[in-house]
Amino acid sequence: MKSTLKYGSITGIIVSIFATGFFTLVNGLNTSNGWGMQPSGIRGISGLLTILIQATGIYLAMQAVKKEQDNVLTYGQALKTGLLVAVLTAAITAFCSFIYCAVLNPGYARYMVTEAQKVMIADKETQQQIAEHTKAMQAEFSTGMQVIQALVGQFFVGTVVSLIMGIFVKTKK
């Protein structure tokens, strides 16, 4: 249990630092170099890469628990380990999302909405469509929704990874 808490905490911290750092760095380079990438696309790439980080944390936690138990790990134990890592990762990521959106970059939501509006205008959407989509974007990028997305997204991905990975990490009979 102790190693699971350790790996879950470390994974959550790494995911949070990576997601924030990757978005900030790549978006800054994108803006200064005129790459033309949409910030939402950069955010999506960052999210996909955090799946690999979380999967690695879950795998390492499962292996640590297996080692602690003389190389014996049932599927249920593997799943429990993975779910605990997923919960910790989700909680830490959600907390860091709140800090990022509310304290470190309080203009984040406004920036993301403004960038989305530029795309809508380029796509020749009507004023009514832009108004409707803007309202949806404002909700999506609000601090509260960013926290919820982090909680749900990290937990869901961690659960799926745990369900699959547990099959391969458990002790074979």
Instruction: Concatenate the DSSP letters of all residues of 4-19 into one string.
Output: HHHHHHHHHHHHHHHH
Whole-number pLDDT of residue 128: 95
**Tokens 């005129």 — which residue?**
34
Q: What's the domain count of the chain?
A: 1
Q: Which is nearest to 145 in space by CA: 114, 113, 173?
A: 113
* Residue 9 included in any domain: yes
* Residue 161 included in any domain: yes
Whole-number pLDDT of residue 89: 98
Q: Which segments in the chain show pLDDT lower than 70?
A: none
Q: Is 87 left (phi over 0), alpha (psi -120 to 50) or beta?
A: alpha
* Residue 109 included in any domain: no
CA pair distance 41, 46, nearest whole angstrom: 9
* Residue 143 included in any domain: no
* Residue 127 included in any domain: no
Whole-number pLDDT of residue 173: 76
Q: What is the percentage of the chain residues whose pLDDT exceeds 70?
A: 100
Whole-number pLDDT of residue 73: 97
CA pair distance 63, 108, nearest whole angstrom: 38
* Residue 41 included in any domain: yes
Whole-number pLDDT of residue 12: 97
Whole-number pLDDT of residue 138: 94
Whole-number pLDDT of residue 97: 96
Whole-number pLDDT of residue 1: 76
- Parent domain of 88: 2-104+153-169
CA pair distance 60, 50, nearest whole angstrom: 15
